[in-house]
């Protein structure tokens, strides 16, 4: 196992904070928080096994045994191993969605999206070891390389819809193009950051996002 994977295994914590709100959610009840904590612990256990053994060498039964839960409990949270792998993208997309929803209607689409992705960058900086290890897990599995290529198109459409909804509008090609360009810029930044060598990562991200949201794309 590579050094970054060993480091991440020791420091592994899924993005959700214990007792905190999930992005874009309402305040959770005590029961909801317990369920979410159990779900997060299950995901952490699965990822720890993926990092230690490799995705292809871990079964749902292995995850259940390590997490000390029944298979039906696992499937209450996730449809399968692939669903656990999608958790980081799902979480980061929901973080961006929550930031967009909180942006005031008078704020331009490009500014709202730049602010949301800046906050995503802050999250990435705070979880570098974990995210680098997750990328290693994906790269080492032929199945994951074929099936997990980043933000799916339907997620981009959801973000476009949220941008337009702030102004009680239907999304048009401008919002869709703005989101697509911004997601592409973030993907390039994310890869460069995890490879190392960026002196001012957030400054570079802001610069790239400004280039991706040129005038003319705001509705």
Q: Is the pLDDT of residue 199 over 90?
A: yes
Both tokens assigned to 185 = 């810029």
Mean per-residue pLDDT, 16-44:
68
Between 211 and 14, where is the model more confident?
211
Q: Please tell me whether the overall predicted TM-score, pTM, comes out greater than 0.95 for this model.
A: no
Indicate the pLDDT class of residue 25, thresholds 50, 70 and 90: very low
Mean pLDDT of the chain: 84
Mean per-residue pLDDT, 149-155:
76
What's the pLDDT score for residue 24? 44
Taking the C-alpha atoms of residue 140 and residue 143, their distance in angstroms, rounded to an integer, is 9
Taking the C-alpha atoms of residue 141 and residue 209, their distance in angstroms, rounded to an integer, is 31
Mean per-residue pLDDT, 77-89:
89
Nearest to 130 by CA among 94, 95, 92, 93: 92
Q: What percent of the chain has pLDDT over 70?
A: 84
Taking the C-alpha atoms of residue 5 and residue 16, their distance in angstroms, rounded to an integer, is 20
DSSP 39-107: HHHHHHHHHHHHHHH-GGG--HHHHHHHHT--HHHHHHH-SSHHHHHTHHHHHHHHHHHHHHHHS-TTS
Q: Is the pLDDT of residue 187 over 90?
A: yes
Residue that is written with structure tokens 């904070």 in the block? 17
What's the pLDDT score for residue 21? 35
DSSP 134-189: HHHHHHT-HHHHHH--SS-HHHHHHHHHHHHHTTT----HHHHHHHHHHHHHHHHH
What's the pLDDT score for residue 111? 94
Both tokens assigned to 84 = 């656990």
- The answer to whether 16 and 25 have CB atoms below 8 angstroms apart is no
Question: Which domains are delineated in the chain?
Answer: 3-81 (1.10.10.60), 85-212 (1.10.357.10)
Residue that is written with structure tokens 């994977």 in the block? 5
Q: List, in order, residues 6 or more apart from 44 with CB less than 8 Å away.
A: 12, 13, 14
């Amino acid at each position: 196992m590579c050094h970054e994977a060993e480091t991440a295994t020791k420091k592994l914590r899924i993005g959700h904070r214990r007792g905190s709100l999930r992005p874009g959610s309402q305040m959770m009840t005590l029961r909801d928080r317990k369920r979410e904590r159990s779900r997060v612990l299950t995901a952490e256990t699965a990822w720890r096994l993926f990092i230690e053994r490799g995705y292809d060498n871990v079964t749902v039964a292995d995850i259940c045994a390590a997490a000390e839960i029944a298979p039906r409990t696992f499937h209450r949270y996730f449809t399968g191993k692939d669903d656990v792998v999608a958790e980081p993208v799902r979480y980061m997309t929901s973080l961006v969605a929550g930031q967009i929803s909180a942006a005031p209607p008078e704020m331009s689409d490009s500014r709202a999206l730049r602010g949301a992705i800046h906050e995503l960058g802050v999250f990435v900086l705070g979880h570098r070891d974990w995210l680098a290890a997750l990328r290693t897990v994906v790269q080492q599995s032929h199945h994951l390389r074929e099936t997990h290529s980043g933000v799916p198109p339907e997620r981009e459409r959801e973000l476009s819809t949220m941008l337009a909804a702030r102004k009680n509008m239907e999304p048009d090609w401008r919002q869709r193009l703005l989101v697509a360009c911004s997601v592409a810029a973030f993907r390039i930044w994310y890869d460069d950051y995890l490879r190392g060598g960026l002196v001012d990562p957030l400054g570079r991200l802001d610069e790239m996002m400004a280039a991706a949201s040129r005038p003319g794309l705001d509705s």
